[in-house]
Structure 1
Amino acid sequence: MTTPSGWSDQISAWISLYGPAVKGFFLRRLRHQPAEADDLMQEVFLRLLKRRSDTVIDRPEQYIFQTAANVLRDYLRQGQVRRRTEHDELADEIEDTGFTPERVLLGRDRLNRLLAALETLDERTRAVFVLHHFDAMKQTEVAQHLGISLSTVEKSLARANKVLIELKEKVGDS
């Protein structure tokens, strides 16, 4: 439970504690646009800072991520309005992306093999891999977030990469 005293100190503590996860939340939803994710993360904590400090937040993590979802929704709405007003005609020739049904099925199969390989890892190694590669956290951020040493993060990533390389060699680069 958060008390009104030291509101800016509390916000600073939350930035340290939840900032990397909030940034990862935005990165996943914005297809890895780091500049946008940083701006939106800053907006989340700015909204919290502007909030009245005399009210109590019982569950800060839930409150912060609900605020992040609201910030993302507002951002996406603004983008839709901009796109409507800045309409450009489509070019006559649209580039072929090559997404044939066969290619889509092969991609799904590769993804399923990757997920199965990740499931074979121990919990900590899998968490390190996911935070680093999917949530775009730096190794030092992963170490701080999980409360482990940087060396442990490096060794866990090496273990995970070894498993994935073995999987690639086993099934080939199909």
Structure 2
Amino acid sequence: MIDDATLKAWFFREVFPLEAALTRYIRRNWRNESDVADLRQEIYARVYSAARERLPLQTKPFLFTTARNHLINQVRRAQVVSIDHVADLESSFVVVDAVTPDRHLTARDELRRVQAGLDRLPPRCREVVVLRKIEGLSTKAVAARLNIGVDAVEQQMVHGMRALVDFMTGGPGKIRRPPARKRRAAEAQRL
């Protein structure tokens, strides 16, 4: 375990100078500007906590990997409700006092917006997102059903959820992939 003085010195020497780059990264990958400061603090807390056990050899990749994973977890926590459930809710005879007509209309509009965002995704990507998030299948089950690799399912999920979040927060909802040159360089590093 790292002592507090060493940990604080490391944090201010190695992590804190990356704050501007981290903020740009969060803004680029998260549409709600009001969440940026909170997300940055949560990422700092995770980095600080993890470094308490052992300081990372390379701070910048560690920080941005932590940020990426935290943003993915935030997206995963957002629940996507099945579009088919709207019909079930409308045909239900249960009266709930908390559901006002305004809330009902807002919820229906949000569901339509989710469906519109899903419709904008490429077919394979849409299929992966629906199977994982709406039908609740595991990554391995989706890979087996679609006859693709687990890595392909994970990549499609990342691209699909980013595009869906982008659309839901007012963006165009298009999948953004790095240029082919960067993809090839990243693939070469993995090998």
State the TM-score, normalizing by the size of structure 2.
0.39
* Higher RCO (C-alpha 8 Å, min separation 6): 1
